[in-house]
Amino acid sequence: MKSKKVFYNLGAFVSILRSPDIIRTKDEPLWQNHFKILVIVLIFLLSANLYAEKYAGEFLNLGVGVKAKSLGNAFVAIADDPTAIFWNSAGMQNSSNICIDIMHSEEFAGNLKYDTFGLIYPLGKNNRLGFLLTRIGISGIPISKLPYPDLAPSDTNQPYVEKYVSNSDYAGYFALSSKLSSKLSFGISSKIIYKDIGVTSASGLGLDIGFLFNANKKIRFGLNLRDILSTTIWWNNGTTEKVNPNIFVGVGMDFLFPILARPATLSLQTDIFFEDRDFAAQLHYKKASFDFHSGLKIKFAEFLSICCGIDRKNPTAGLTISYKKFSLNYAFHVHNELKNTHRISLGINGLQLKH
């Protein structure tokens, strides 16, 4: 019945999109037409099956990128580097040339290694192609065994470490974005997942859809509908997990910072999950839960920007040093329970192919 409900909703969604008389009225501005489509997508998302396992896709929620981390992971409305492929694929429209981002991170006192590679490639004036690869790894995980497995643990049957294994989570994103109008951009990102925990492995497929709306030159809104078709993860032992649809929504505002009289950007973001996370989230109502992020970037000079933010309740900070086509980014994340995180990345922006 669950699968029938999904396909019924998907069929209804496609039928509506194919009906121009329903979508657009005479003399209606094009952006209003796109907004209607966006509302229909949201309705489809919220009416689809929400029966996935809680936290099944948590490894996909660490966030990608140094700039995003330094801004408290409030990046859905900024999305101005190759990590836009993760945060909001519509943001790839912010890149007019080939750009690359390579990140290495030591998360939680170095216990978790996190590496990413992102690339945006322009396809003409209004289209962008993107690729992002992420790897999360933990090594030295002990696998214990009893000398006499058929007997209960005792003084003469103590567990011992049989071997050490590593845990690796890979995600590959392939994204395409297009400018629908002068104000509205759209992006779609498919993802392929592979998980290996030493004794078993899994693979999965998912889909994200992003929108970026520039209200004016200083204010923009971002929306990312993540795992919109309930990302499925298949384990080689026959177990199947599903990741519930979830939403990133936010706003970015450019302004002149008082006293310093320097250009600045304020970013706000809310993450919405439908997994009944209760008190694990900052705010919850029935099955819906909400986590909040905020960030501030001040551009002190053409070559130097300083950032700070709040990732849920944890402070973040960072900086970007730029030189010609290159940028060096650093972020620091304070976490009381899981210790601190350091991220560093190299960005290359403005590459052009010779024709």
Quote the CA–CA distance of 88 and 75 in Å, as a whole number. Answer: 8
Query: Where exactly are the structural domains of the chain?
Result: 1-49, 50-351
pTM: 0.81
- Domain covering 50-351 in this structure, CATH number: 2.40.160.60
Quote the CA–CA distance of 320 and 298 in Å, as a whole number. Answer: 10
**Of the candidates 133, 118, 112, 37, the residue with the CA atom closest to the CA atom of residue 80:** 118
**DSSP states of 186-238:** EEEEEEEEEEE-SS-EEEEEEEEEEEEEE-SSSEEEEEEEETTT-EEEEETTS
pLDDT digits (tens), the chain, 355 positions: 444 444 444 444 444 444 444 444 555 555 555 555 555 555 555 444 444 566 667 778 888 999 999 999 999 999 999 999 999 999 999 998 999 999 999 877 777 899 999 999 999 889 999 999 999 988 777 778 888 888 888 888 888 888 877 788 999 999 999 999 999 999 999 999 999 887 789 999 999 999 999 999 999 999 999 999 889 999 998 889 888 899 999 999 999 999 999 999 999 999 999 887 777 778 888 888 999 999 999 999 999 999 999 998 899 999 999 999 999 999 999 877 777 889 999 999 977 766 5
Element housing 15 (H / E):
helix 2-17
**Of the candidates 71, 69, 189, 197, the residue with the CA atom closest to the CA atom of residue 130:** 189
Quote the CA–CA distance of 130 and 20 in Å, as a whole number. Answer: 30
Burial of 123 from C-beta contacts in 10 A (0-12 / 13-18 / 19+): exposed
